[in-house]
Every structure is written in structure tokens, then in C-alpha cells.
Amino acid sequence: MAEVKKNISWPLGIGIIYGLFVVFLLIYLVYANFNTVDLVTKDYYAKDLKYQQQIDRRDRTSGLESGMTWQYSERSQNIRLQFPSNIDPDQISGKIIFFRPSDAQLDNSVTINPNVDSNQDIDVGKLTQGMWRLKIFWKVGNTDYYNEGVVEIKPTR
């Protein structure tokens, strides 16, 4: 009779293992179904075709004698853009995209409008704290330029 119990518990153990595996798969499917994944951009393939233009913008920007720079101030919660001083600020236009990799709904953009000193202060105090990718598209006349960087918005101290 002892041998009969061994035969009964062996198939039962395999059944329990298969049952746990099926439960795990069902839990994973429910989790995956309700978990949203934001793409980097919604029109990824269309933007991929225009990437050569982006490479050209970067090359032109790196070829400038004095490029555009930016600096984040944690104390005043702003970002200061400094455009090349040898370029007339009235000729500079474009936009800055604040890209949030973790949540596409938080993305924001600001129009470039430098002052007579060729700089622009942007208030970032209302942005959610954390990492942001800056994508700065700017042009002088008909010539396009591009800068990119990462900033971590921190709470005011």
C-alpha cells in the first residue's frame, strides 16, 4: 500500500506545477494587458526617414565657432540658453522640447525668443521633478541647428 501513495503523489505534484505555471501565465497576461508602454515618438518611422536632416543639423551646430549652451539653476528653477554672441538675436528662432522619457503626456515645448544679449531664461519650476531630455531646434535665417542634453529638475532648496 505504501507504493500506491508514491504513485498518487507523483502525478499530483506534476499537476500542481503545471497549474502554478498556468496561473503565473494568466497573471502575467493580465499585467501586460494593463501596463502601457509609451513609445519614444508616435510617428517613429516617419521621423526615422528624416534622420539625415537631423544629422546635418548636428554637424552644422558642431561646426560653429561658439555654439549654443544652456545651464540649469536649481536655486532659481530656470534654464538659461546662451546663443552665440556673433549671431544677431533677432535672426534666431525655433523651439525647445522638454521630453520626458518616462511619461509622454508630460512633454512640453517652448518657443525660442532670445533677448538682446542672445540669451533666454526658461522657468522650469512647474515641470515635474526628475530627468528631462532637452531637444533644442533653432535656426538662423534658413539654416537649421540642433542641440540636445539631459537635465534633472530638482526641488527648490
Q: 3-state class of 33 per DSSP?
A: helix
- Contact between 98 and 134 under an 8 Å Cβ cutoff? The reply is yes
- The CATH number given to whatever domain includes residue 103 is 2.60.40.3080
Positive or negative: CA dihedral 55, 59, 60, 61? positive
User: In terms of domains, do 100 and 141 share one?
Assistant: yes
Across 57-67, b (16+ Cβ under 10 Å) vs e yields beeebeeeeee
Same domain, 66 and 105: yes
Q: What is the pLDDT along the chain (157 residues), one digit of tens a residue?
A: 455 555 568 788 899 999 999 999 999 999 888 877 666 666 777 767 677 888 888 888 888 878 888 899 888 889 999 998 888 888 999 999 999 888 888 888 999 999 998 899 999 888 888 899 999 999 998 889 998 989 988 877 6
145 and 102 in one domain? yes
Domain housing 145: 44-153
The sheet with strand 78-82 has its strands ordered as 69-73, 78-82, 119-123
- Alpha-helical regions (H) of 39-152: 44-49, 51-62
Same domain, yes or no: 70 and 100:
yes
The total of structural domains in the chain comes to: 2
Same-domain check for residues 52 and 98:
yes
Within this chain, do residues 133 and 107 fall inside the same structural domain, yes or no? Answer: yes
Same domain (yes/no): 64, 11 = no
Regarding whether 20 and 54 lie in a shared domain, the answer is no
